[in-house]
Chain A
């Protein structure tokens, strides 16, 4: 058996443009590299944007966000309407946890939570079997007995893990989150194999209504570095959503800061989720971004 040497990734790999190959190599697994990329199945994610979803005062229009969600789910699942699409995802006897994110500077918008819950209820799931939660999931009856999870959170840079996205949003399913912080949070995907979540996630949604592309200040939040992107990124593969999200944040930094400025922390957990833990696809060449709606300044 051929042993693969552990590869150290440095700044020079970024300058050479060989980071992905180096990342794959460092994980010690067969890289889905240049030659193989074209042969493998592509993963679909849907980007929906609407320039009117957030008004000048920062208020979110609940009707428009519902339309965006419906459009995104229908496109993702290839159904003619949202009701049919949701019925593919959730059954009336499911117990559904909507894993949100309550980080106070940039939480999952309440309007989006309501829009998701409404569609789940319309599939026939009784109210007592649906719950929205973040930090309380380990004490929440619905989450503890759930058969289906919907994962929804905003996209932002993160001091320790590079980005806060779908993969990281499940950290509240463990009682000792700090144990996942070493090595830029690279083991985060292991949480997805824990019994409380394993195999239950039916849908992942990255809220791009507002994206935080640069962290600063005591809580790594600064209003000046939050963009009204007015979008939703929807898919079944959390790794693909995070890979696209990381790329978007990097591009937004370039536009706003006027220079090509990589994320302060390389989001290793995304690559590890793909190459080491096989949770999904991180290679952008294997991710198809289907766009719907207003695309001015979309960057991706």
Chain B
């Protein structure tokens, strides 16, 4: 009898774990869900968890967010935990905690939208329309209200702040960002991604994948504000796995987008602005909407220099 009592807690743990796994397809035996649960407190002020946590992985995320799941799947998204916090007399607050696999991809999915104010939560944040978005370490987090009458800004930021504090480990932004020239750079415009769909979301280029982007390519797109009357110029830097892949993508891009400039790789397009591209080592550098050929070439030149230095 003594032997059975000794192992009873373990037996209960095994049975309850098995039950949880059978109910939740995203449950993984490596304890990831347990680790994520630890990051979200049961109570924040007068808000408390409703006790109905949900988990979704790359396959099941569609059940939760339909086609919007494709955005997260275009990064190395691993697991999503959803917890609702409730308080008497107040609309519930939803926290979505995404394990993005790496700090780089947590930053990447955060950079997809950078509108609104930055309330200083986590390693980068944005707040607007009742929605707080932030990233810290390998996690990306949404905090918002579900109902027509959203919770107060104070409550949303309070819950988000506590979650951010419970994520102890910070992470590095993608290394590729270090190669962006500083002068004129709009920091909130920086987007980091892998797939052509994200590029098109920010700057529609083509319905075909003419730059041969994919999960093994890292890309950064940023806006540069030029002196008055010159408008905005965009810089795209893509890192390919190999020089051969970079060369292939570069030639394909020039052929599809600037067929009139096979030698110069620079063209004045229909809006009167300049597009130009160069390949450097295993990178392709593209400038869109440059005010002049000279200004575009200068931006590419500085980028090449930064790539060489770092």
Where the two chains meet, the residues of A that have a C-beta atom closer than 8 Å to any C-beta of B are 8-12, 14-16, 26, 58, 103-104, 158-161, 177-178, 181, 183-185, 215-220, 222-224, 262, 264-266, 268
Contacts and interface: CB of A to CB of B under 8 A. Distances in A.
B70 A10 contact: no
Given A159-B71, A178-B62, A266-B204, A12 B257 contact: yes
A262 B205 CA distance: 12
A101 to B, nearest CB: 10
Given A222-B129, A223-B130, A181 B70 contact: yes
A181 to B, nearest CB: 6
Given A8-B256, A15-B271, A264-B200, A218 B207 contact: no
Contacts of B68: 159-160, 215, 218-220
B206 A9 contact: yes
Most buried by B among A15, A181, A183, A217: A217
Given A159-B67, A159-B70, A177-B62, A10 B205 contact: yes
B70 A11 contact: no
Contacts of A222: 129, 131
Given A216-B113, A265-B200, A10 B206 contact: yes
B131 A10 contact: no
A217 B207 contact: no
B239 interface: no
Interface residue SS majority, chain B: mixed
Most buried by A among B142, B204, B257: B204
A218 B128 CA distance: 13
9 nearest A-B residue pairs (beta carbon): A15-B270, A160-B67, A218-B142, A10-B206, A220-B68, A224-B129, A264-B201, A8-B208, A8-B256
Nearest to A183: B207
Contacts of B70: 159-160, 181
Contact of A11 (B113, B146, B201, B205): B205
B66 A103 contact: yes
A8 B206 contact: yes
A160 B65 CA distance: 12
B117 interface: no
Contacts of A16: 270
Given A10-B256, A217-B129, A224-B129, A184 B207 contact: yes
17 contacts: A8-B210, A11-B203, A11-B204, A12-B257, A103-B66, A160-B70, A160-B197, A177-B62, A178-B62, A181-B67, A183-B207, A185-B67, A218-B131, A218-B133, A223-B130, A223-B148, A264-B204
A266 B270 contact: no
Contacts of A215: 68
Nearest to A103: B66
B207 A268 contact: yes
A10 B67 contact: no
A9 B207 contact: yes
B144 interface: yes
Contacts of A58: 148
Contacts of B142: 217-218
Given A8-B256, A11-B205, 8 more contacts: A11-B203, A160-B70, A183-B207, A184-B197, A215-B68, A219-B66, A223-B129, A265-B197
Contacts of B105: none
B96 interface: yes
Contacts of B113: 216-217
B201 A265 contact: yes
Nearest to A164: B67
Contacts of B150: 223
B200 A219 contact: no
Contacts of A104: 146
Contacts of B50: none
Contacts of B197: 160, 184, 265
A262 B130 CA distance: 25
Contacts of A26: 207
B14 interface: no
A120 to B, nearest CB: 28
Interface string B109-151: 0000101000000000000111101000000001010101010
B21 interface: no
Nearest to A216: B113
Contact of A9 (B201, B208, B271): B208
A152 to B, nearest CB: 18
B298 interface: no
A216 B115 contact: yes
Nearest to B258: A12
A262 B129 contact: no
A121 to B, nearest CB: 31
Nearest to B98: A218
A32 to B, nearest CB: 19
Contacts of B270: 12, 15-16
B131 A217 contact: yes
Nearest to B288: A11
B269 interface: yes
Contacts of B208: 8-9
A264 B130 CA distance: 22
Contacts of A178: 62
A58 to B, nearest CB: 7
Interface string B189-214: 00000000100110111111010000
Nearest to B71: A159
Contacts of A185: 67
